[in-house]
Structure 1
């Protein structure tokens, strides 16, 4: 069940991060103040909704036997971690800690960002599968 869950969560992530993310959200989600937080939380809410739909599709179409509490916890985990990662400071701090200044200067932050998101998705899929 882990593999099916991970694929569903990853597709939901891609949909939410690319075609369903507005230009405003992308430009402002890491910004200071109310505007930044509104953009960030709207983007995280998109992830919550799309992930919930993806899990519901997996349950309905694939017959996945998912514990509803585990699924809800996984969806919340994805929304919260996505919001924090997209504030950008965790990625910047990691790249400083890992001594990746050159990688950062050549577009590496986007790769580290996506790796952090995928790690959070894998943890969610493992938790949902393990608790179901």
Structure 2
């Protein structure tokens, strides 16, 4: 069941990060002000909503997919919270400095590290759901 759960969460992630993320959210979600926090939290809420919709659809359509509601709620909150944290951008910048990847960061590497961190959070959520 883990692969199915991960694919559904990843689909929700892709939908929230690309077609459903507004230009305003993308431009301001890391800003250190009320507008930045509003953009960040609205974007994180979109992740929770799309992942919840994907998991619900999977539970309705697939015979072998069962989940505990409390675990599903916890996993969705984890997805939203980790997404909000990672998208503040400083965690990725700090990691890349620690890993001595400043040149790669200057040439677009931060986007890859960002997405890898999001996927790690999704894997952990899918593992919790499958357990």
Q: TM-score, normalised by structure 2?
A: 0.98
Question: Unmatched 5+ residue regions in structure 1?
Answer: none
Q: Quote the Cα distance in structure 2 between the aligned partners of 1:41 and 1:87.
A: 10
For 1:15, the equivalent position in structure 2 comes to: 15
For 1:86, the equivalent position in structure 2 comes to: 87
Q: Quote the Cα distance in structure 2 between the aligned partners of 1:58 and 1:69.
A: 17
Kindly state the Cα deviation for residue 102 of structure 1 after the two structures are TM-superposed.
Answer: 1.0
Question: Unmatched 5+ residue regions in structure 2?
Answer: none
For 1:68, the equivalent position in structure 2 comes to: 69
Q: Output one character per residue of 1:5-34: Cα deviation in whole Å (capped at 9) or x when no partner.
A: 000000000000000000000000000110
Q: Quote the Cα distance in structure 2 between the aligned partners of 1:24 and 1:93.
A: 24
For 2:104, the equivalent position in structure 1 comes to: 103
Q: Quote the Cα distance in structure 2 between the aligned partners of 1:109 and 1:22.
A: 20
CA-atom RMSD in angstroms: 0.5
DSSP 3-state at the match of 1:99: coil
Q: TM-score, normalised by structure 1?
A: 0.97
Q: Quote the Cα distance in structure 2 between the aligned partners of 1:129 and 1:76.
A: 16
Aligned positions, number: 130
